[in-house]
Structure 1
């Protein structure tokens, strides 16, 4: 089974690409890390309790406000849902305090999300899927690129396009808040460069500065190439002969380790020239 690692940055169109890949004619299974990230912090979960314990004392509006339909212990007695806007203000930004808060949240959420992702991958593997899309905003940062046969980065060349889309999507954000959210993530142009450095057949950048028709055409071309390089019959061989599947997965993982090593060497070389 081919793992397509899908990533991007905020307001570059990753969710749009994900929805296109999930719909006909592709109909690919989507393993959305954001969906799992919300699931593992629902009221009553271990992640929810950890977030409330750490952020609650210093974030008065961390939980949804109490109303007639939202009692103090939540609608199901497990607690009121998290106020994501309030939590977002705590973690987005470039200051050391915001970075520390963001790291704490990641340490709470990421391990639980990983467990859910692994279970979903296994189910799709047993189901005989030709490919599965790992929709992970922090694909490189969290190391999921090491499992991906192909990494797909959805990017825009013009930073102004990214800001315009973000403020149109989330009109409640001030310009400063929107800027903080963009700056809290790795620059999408750098992600695109890293993706291209993986080499032909292992990394593809979907530039999304234009229309939706142009976006679909770019996706069509990328998926056609993936099918040529990893045809469905190869997936069935790996499924029917697990040792071959394990060996193929190990080979991809080893290649990606070397790809990341070369990328770090390239980064170090470029920094030394500054």
Structure 2
């Protein structure tokens, strides 16, 4: 019998002597067609993602670094960027916590109307953003159902940064729930039972067993909710009030620049948002990769 017939295929990652195997561009696989599928993937992503973003950066580069810096340091632009990214970060964090809670209830408990509640989670996906914005503005306005109850106490939600926060929580919650829910459903309950058998309390089991396993999924949902919130426009402008230096978001500022035919300024603001979003998502992905390495054995 030949040597090739006695060795496992594909080769073990560690090699014959346990040494680290050299990095390969293409790992051995029984499935054919790597060249075709890889070429299609690169072409598709280039046409849909890379080329449009490159064109955006090239158009903005016409201002030069000094021009882009001048746009980035304008007080109104700084205020809009702070509003967009700051509130988006807080809304995504809130969605990460409450989305985990909603996914837990929908996965671990049986109760009347569970399927209906599970379907309601997807409503922000199906609703046009303008419809969501009008509905939220009508509810939270001073004469709305909820806004009218809070108005006597001096609490104003619509046409304030708090209204932006409500809108971003509304559109971002499904991203966390739908990301965490399948992972939670596949979580082996025998691990929790083993933890209880070894003497762990419910709190210790959740903190040391369940949450570390769900951490990568929660971070993924957080990143998706944050990315959606940063670029959200339709559901925000109806409830934000759009007051410069108070409740004006960066996407609205881009639209204003386009309406004034200031295409260079619009692309400069868009490029700044692109850079900040890329760095933020890169940091989240690095944290997610660390959590997978740290808690992958759980």
| TM-score normalised over the length of structure 2 | 0.25
Bigger share in strand: 1
Larger radius of gyration: 2
User: Which structure: greater helix fraction?
Assistant: 2
Calculate the TM-score normalised by the size of structure 1: 0.27
